[in-house]
Structure 1
């Protein structure tokens, strides 16, 4: 029995046996039609003339008689829609319409929020028993779209739709959340087709390996599909569906999908996407074809996903809706018969045989659409009376506008449906091929091989075991939650219908991306740790008669706060401040001696480029043009790239700089880049991009642009010399150095020894400046660093700067810069580079200490003490440190 909350009524059990039998047949038929559509489009993709899902279904229902429904606009109720009193008034007016039309029963459709209130009222008042309330399918599909987005967006779906060009990056959030209905539905149709194509490609070797005796059926089925391709119609579809070979192949393909569905890896995860997309297509087909049994089956399939992903409102009311609708044949046979004839959806067009739409969507397509004014209805006036008048008369204006459109012949025709037009067909095919190519070539193909792990298609991130378990077990968890809900709240009544529902909080790939803690939280954590630990240490010191100087020699927390942030990351300092301070010692250079060589930090140049909406080939051409522009006044140009190794000392810094990025296992020259910055977050992408750029530049077409210049370019450990007429490897510039910052010096030395009078380094980086100052004496020509912006360029004469600083300071800068904070060494809390530089300039001993630092792997005791003294002086000043140091020695001797 179904006890209804606080109504004192009981409704009989749903007639699930007959419903399930009919629904299974309808679902299977829908899947077969989808597969026929897929294979028909795959039969000749290079000259595609088969429409996408909607257009194809129009063509295969060409013999269906279309009877247009009459749509009338009801008066507007001047009250907030979400209030219970408003819903009560809607039901009262519905009852009046029923009596005026002398009907036994009447159906009223609400979105979920209003359906919940309407159900409360119907359960409480017996006079509304003959009003059948339904939940709007349009809003239900929007809810399903949001579930699809939540489950799959960070598993690669978000990047897939943006990088393929199907959805613009600015619209993708609305699509993933189900707010942009038309774009989201089109996206999932395209991704479903692309995934099914990949699954079909994986099915063929599976068939040959598992069922070699059935391969002849495949050939016969494809031949029949080819014949159907030439005559897509309702009659030819019927013949195809009766073909024995086609039925055999369809059954085997479903068996193949079932084998993937039962797995525990990547394929099983993405098979669930196909299942959920088929639920969406089932809801669409059911409404558009007027198939009531398919509608009920799709609702039933959707319910577990609502429970799994905490769509609490739908999880609460969708089971009740499903139960009440399955009982219509018993409780309301007339309404059930009407629904079986397609009366649960509305035919607003006069010719489209798959043009029925849900009732709540009809409101959007008629009265709401006709009410709109140029610029929309939101905020067109600040006067409440004007707004009230506008909405109270909306049904009259909308009705007149609709009649006027009918009079001038603005009527929809299935012949004019966008999906049947060749521009849309070509666009859909291009989008599907882009999706397939992206997954199959550049990213991960979920069906190409057996991936035992659940991996993000775009970022290649492996889901941790806890997240993988939630992703693979979501449907089972949701089904169990639904069965418990039905048993406890709808059947046994042991739990009240409106009692709080516990959320499952299943993890997805979105949970892998940890949100960084803001600075305020980190500071608060430090203060709390300092206060608490300091209090405990004072108590311990007093009880055990310890000296506080000994106690405070240890960190006041799990991390040394002077060297780490509250989240455990390295402290950073402003390195650019050191460059600005050093630059004050010398005026910018006016003239660069000729001939000169220009050395460019390659990755810095790439980072400055705008790669969005460019193909990789266009990017390579733009990068070379930028290189030639930077070295326009030089006869030799060197482009030095970083080397990205799997294990690097800079892994922590690179991870700190970027979030999860898209991963390209192969770079397709013609691929149109959509997320340039996200692509550059990955070290493996950068390595592949560097190789691609160098390979493109090595080609004769790009070398032609060099004219009389010589280009040296590095790729991993190798260096190439490119000229207009020749290409060769330069063995003396081969290097195992990982950082371009240090490798630049090798190229500068090579250029100086090759007879060039000056070297210009294009890399506005403090690390490069410090390195050049440390080694400028070894390079026998002036070194200049190009600084500033495009409009305010200046050239810093590093050789003169080194001479003005003196050899002691120049030699010490490398050690001091590393010691006081760089990419791999933490900075000191509250102390920057300027104070350290002043200390080094003022003390010869510190200059000698930092010059010695790094020359040997071992740090001597004397050097350690000198560095300790330098650190104390940074915090207390040199004079204060000497006084306190003497006092400490005196008190120690006294004890």
Structure 2
């Protein structure tokens, strides 16, 4: 919103004008909820969003904070602002803005506004209220999939997630004659993307595999594979029906409760990840890690001395995650998909993040990176002994000093639980 009005009443009116600038008879305005604890906790920390500062809006004449954009990082401010919209749009001074339109706001409940006899009639639409949904993305899909008449739906957003989730739900539209468009960009860069045509061109199976694919390869809730992005993995996915079938079942209750089913799908996912890292026809990411390392550092014969200097420049981030770490990524992707793939229902999932790739500490969800030891016990003990030898001045070997220093730095990095890849939408 450019040229933000000085008062909250002005902001409310301008917001409604922006919402209704497109020709339509019904407008659904969808907002996130801010639940705690949440799997979005990590992302909110990265965005430096604050939940500490309370905020109260007393009426339309109240003057907004001078730094409006900064205040939008305060979750309590955003909640107060949406609650104000809900109340203000129910006042009769909004009649000229609503006119013959049907306006809905979905926050904690779904509020409906129409004009009757020159007065605003405000009601709560229980059929569209979905308090179990945290994200606006899944609420939008819930609204679209619960309209049982033929319609042209235009979704105005700038988020990749909604396109992915919607393509995974095209088969859940109640009227096959309906079309879904995505309106993205601003000004001269504004574009309309016909998701119905995209769905027809890609096919049902590939589209239904996209939510699982997006959750696995990196999204707001799950780290990405370092420098792998989306394009190469997607090209591989398009060519391999077995990967599409596996990802299509992400989020199924059976996949979150049946260990044997998990093992079967996880084996296929390992093969997919190995192919992303250019080690095809391999079902074990640990074997792929070893192969990639040996491609550069194996000796030509058993009598050749291993050059430890070269290994110091090896970038471990170029390797796929180990099996125990990938399994936690797999569990998180499954849990996320259980929300996305059932977005057309009031309660998208009955499962919890705990035991599915997260742990709860101090009322906040944190990534659970792996189970077991960080290193094989023999390797850990050997490096620990080397460190003790250096500290006791038993050796003055520069190479050993460097190796121990690298081990100490690596161990500190692992203990800090940093992502092994940046999130990449």
Q: Which bracket does the TM-score occupy, shorter chain normalised?
A: 0.5 to 0.7
Over 3 Å counting, the alpha-carbon distance change for 1:792 and 1:646 in structure 2 is: same
Instruction: Tell me which residue corresponds to 1:44.
Output: none
Instruction: Tell me which residue corresponds to 1:822.
Output: 219
Query: What is the DSSP-based 3-state SS (H/G/I as helix, E as strand, rest coil) of the residue aligned with 1:618?
Result: helix
Over 3 Å counting, the alpha-carbon distance change for 1:662 and 1:677 in structure 2 is: farther
Query: What is the DSSP-based 3-state SS (H/G/I as helix, E as strand, rest coil) of the residue aligned with 2:115?
Result: coil
Residue deviations 1:733-777 (CA, integer Å, cap 9, x gap): 0102010100101111233x1x34211111121100001100011
Q: Comparing both structures, which one devotes a greater share of its residues to helix?
A: 1
Cα offset for 1:703? 3.3
Q: Equivalents in 1 of 2:28, 2:20: separation in Å?
A: 10
Instruction: Tell me which residue corresponds to 1:665.
Output: 55
Query: What is the DSSP-based 3-state SS (H/G/I as helix, E as strand, rest coil) of the residue aligned with 2:37?
Result: coil
Cα offset for 1:868? 1.2
Q: Comparing both structures, which one devotes a greater share of its residues to strand?
A: 2
Contact 1:820–1:826 (Cα < 8 Å) also in 2: yes
Instruction: Tell me which residue corresponds to 1:845.
Output: 242
Q: Equivalents in 2 of 1:788, 1:674: separation in Å?
A: 27
The partner residue of 1:743 within 127, 139, 164 is 139
Q: Equivalents in 1 of 2:64, 2:184: separation in Å?
A: 32
Query: What is the DSSP-based 3-state SS (H/G/I as helix, E as strand, rest coil) of the residue aligned with 1:638?
Result: strand
**TM-score, structure 2 normalization:** 0.60
**TM-score, structure 1 normalization:** 0.29
Matches within 5 A, 1:124-143: none
The yes-or-no answer on 1:768 pairing with 2:162 is yes
Q: Equivalents in 2 of 1:853, 1:664: separation in Å?
A: 39
Matches within 5 A, 1:151-166: none
Matches within 5 A, 1:170-209: none
Over 3 Å counting, the alpha-carbon distance change for 1:682 and 1:841 in structure 2 is: same
Q: Equivalents in 2 of 1:750, 1:879: separation in Å?
A: 42
Q: Equivalents in 1 of 2:212, 2:160: separation in Å?
A: 14
Instruction: Tell me which residue corresponds to 1:876.
Output: 278
Query: What is the DSSP-based 3-state SS (H/G/I as helix, E as strand, rest coil) of the residue aligned with 2:188?
Result: coil
Over 3 Å counting, the alpha-carbon distance change for 1:713 and 1:696 in structure 2 is: same
Contact 1:711–1:721 (Cα < 8 Å) also in 2: yes
The partner residue of 2:92 within 700, 705, 710 is 700
Instruction: Tell me which residue corresponds to 1:784.
Output: 181
Cα offset for 1:650? 0.6
Instruction: Tell me which residue corresponds to 2:44.
Output: 654
Over 3 Å counting, the alpha-carbon distance change for 1:747 and 1:652 in structure 2 is: same
Residue deviations 1:139-163 (CA, integer Å, cap 9, x gap): xxxxxxxxxxxxxxxxxxxxxxxxx
Contact 2:268–2:283 (Cα < 8 Å) also in 1: no
Contact 1:819–1:825 (Cα < 8 Å) also in 2: yes
The structure showing larger relative contact order (alpha-carbon pairs under 8 Å, at least 6 residues apart) is: 2
Contact 2:274–2:282 (Cα < 8 Å) also in 1: no
Instruction: Tell me which residue corresponds to 1:626.
Output: 18
Instruction: Tell me which structure has the larger Cα radius of gyration.
Output: 1
Residue deviations 1:408-457 (CA, integer Å, cap 9, x gap): xxxxxxxxxxxxxxxxxxxxxxxxxxxxxxxxxxxxxxxxxxxxxxxxxx
5+ long unaligned stretches in structure 2: 292-425
Contact 1:764–1:785 (Cα < 8 Å) also in 2: no
The partner residue of 2:111 within 715, 720, 743 is 720
Q: Equivalents in 2 of 1:881, 1:662: separation in Å?
A: 47
Query: What is the DSSP-based 3-state SS (H/G/I as helix, E as strand, rest coil) of the residue aligned with 1:819?
Result: helix
Over 3 Å counting, the alpha-carbon distance change for 1:877 and 1:609 in structure 2 is: farther
Q: Equivalents in 2 of 1:672, 1:846: separation in Å?
A: 51
Contact 1:661–1:678 (Cα < 8 Å) also in 2: no
Contact 1:661–1:680 (Cα < 8 Å) also in 2: no
Instruction: Tell me which residue corresponds to 1:863.
Output: 265
Cα offset for 1:610? 4.8
Query: What is the DSSP-based 3-state SS (H/G/I as helix, E as strand, rest coil) of the residue aligned with 1:768?
Result: helix
The yes-or-no answer on 1:811 pairing with 2:205 is no
Instruction: Tell me which residue corresponds to 2:356.
Output: none
Instruction: Tell me which residue corresponds to 1:617.
Output: 9
Over 3 Å counting, the alpha-carbon distance change for 1:610 and 1:656 in structure 2 is: farther
Contact 2:163–2:182 (Cα < 8 Å) also in 1: yes
The CA RMSD measured in Å over matched residues stands at 2.3
Query: What is the DSSP-based 3-state SS (H/G/I as helix, E as strand, rest coil) of the residue aligned with 2:33?
Result: coil
Cα offset for 1:730? 0.8
Contact 1:703–1:722 (Cα < 8 Å) also in 2: no
Corresponding residue pairs, total: 273
Q: Equivalents in 2 of 1:661, 1:646: separation in Å?
A: 10
Q: Equivalents in 1 of 2:133, 2:50: separation in Å?
A: 26
Query: What is the DSSP-based 3-state SS (H/G/I as helix, E as strand, rest coil) of the residue aligned with 2:103?
Result: strand
Contact 1:661–1:679 (Cα < 8 Å) also in 2: no
Cα offset for 1:855? 1.1
Q: Equivalents in 1 of 2:2, 2:252: separation in Å?
A: 38
Cα offset for 1:628? 1.3
